[in-house]
């Protein structure tokens, strides 16, 4: 056996992980996961109001991406028995020491190498397609994607029609206020410190560290305030209090924004939606 090191074992583990991550396994997703992914894409696509011209430009890009992704998945599935056999042989040899046989390493490389190369090519082309789709969208459409809060069963925010189909900006705060009102007094007092710690952890992504203590106290005072309200008063003031407490909304940019375009427009979930939108647009133009 060739003199090996612990590094070889580490590299092999990384390669297995890379191959698995690079090859999308859509077939393994449950029907629920598939349909909910389509709903999240549908909610933002509905807001974008894509024109027929935009759909005509976007659809060929998405179809091409899905065809390559499906072929990568098919190749990975076909190679899985050989990958598994080679990985098991490597594991058995490495389990006996730090070395593995050159022929075993070569067997792994013959199967895994082409898959990795194919996955890397797909990843590069996918990013290029995402960029191409982004070029078709208007600045306003990109802004909607940047602000979109994916949600399967959204709380409608009718004060801002552009937000219909996504999670309300204040819905999480409203739910928290409702929960704290229902707490028995003893539980409210006993959990005060833990509640504040958890809140501070959540607020770190929205505020500077020095701002957080004051925000936590603001939330605590609001909790005490709503607990003393009648049902009628709470219903009248809940939205106003939630708007005051709600942290600034996150707006995606840069690579994160590109990732959103890919997730919601250049994906298996988006393709049937975009196909349907085009059919409707064509029918309406006749």
Question: Residue 154 pLDDT > 70, yes or no?
Answer: no
- With CA atoms as reference, report the closest residue to 222 among 199, 204, 200, 245: 245
CA separation for the pair 37, 267 (Å, rounded): 10
What pLDDT score does 251 carry? 65
What pLDDT score does 17 carry? 33
CA separation for the pair 75, 116 (Å, rounded): 11
DSSP state of 250: P
Which regions of 174-239 does DSSP assign to beta strands (E)? none
**Contact 229/237 with Cβ under 8 angstroms?**
yes
- With CA atoms as reference, report the closest residue to 149 among 129, 126, 130, 172: 172
Task: Express each pLDDT in 228-242 by its tens digit.
Answer: 999 999 999 988 898
Task: Express each pLDDT in 27-69 by its tens digit.
Answer: 445 788 888 989 999 999 998 999 999 999 999 999 999 999 9
Question: Residue 278 pLDDT > 70, yes or no?
Answer: yes
Based on its alpha-carbon atoms, the radius of gyration of the chain, rounded to whole angstroms, reads 26
pTM score of the predicted model: 0.61
CA separation for the pair 180, 197 (Å, rounded): 15
Mean pLDDT of 234-261: 83
Confidence of residue 173 (pLDDT cuts 50, 70, 90): confident
């Amino acid at each position: 056996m060739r003199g090996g090191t612990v590094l070889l074992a580490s590299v092999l583990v990384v390669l297995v992980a890379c191959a698995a991550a690079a090859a999308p396994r859509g077939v393994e997703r449950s029907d629920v996961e598939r349909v909910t992914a389509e709903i999240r894409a549908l909610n933002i696509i509905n807001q974008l109001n894509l024109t027929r011209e935009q759909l005509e430009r976007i659809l060929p890009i998405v179809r091409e991406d899905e065809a390559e992704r499906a072929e990568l998945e098919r190749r990975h599935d076909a190679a899985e028995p050989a990958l598994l056999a080679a990985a098991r042989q490597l594991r058995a040899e490495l389990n006996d020491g730090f070395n593995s046989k050159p022929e075993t390493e070569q067997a792994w490389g013959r199967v895994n190498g082409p898959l990795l190369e194919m996955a890397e090519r797909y990843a590069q082309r996918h990013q290029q397609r995402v960029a191409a789709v982004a070029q078709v969208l208007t600045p306003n459409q990109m802004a909607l994607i940047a602000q979109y809060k994916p949600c399967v069963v959204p709380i409608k925010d009718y004060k801002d029609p552009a937000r219909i189909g996504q999670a309300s900006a204040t819905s999480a705060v409203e739910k928290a206020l409702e929960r704290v009102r229902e707490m028995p007094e003893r539980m409210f007092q006993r959990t005060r410190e833990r509640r504040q710690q958890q809140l501070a952890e959540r607020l770190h992504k929205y505020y500077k560290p020095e701002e957080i203590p004051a925000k936590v106290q603001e939330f605590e005072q609001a909790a005490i305030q709503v607990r003393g309200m009648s049902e009628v008063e709470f219903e009248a003031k809940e939205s106003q209090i939630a708007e005051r407490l709600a942290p600034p909304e996150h707006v995606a940019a840069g690579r994160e924004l590109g990732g959103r375009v890919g997730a919601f427009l250049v994906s298996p979930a988006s393709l049937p939606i975009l196909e349907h939108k085009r059919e409707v647009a064509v029918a309406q133009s006749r």
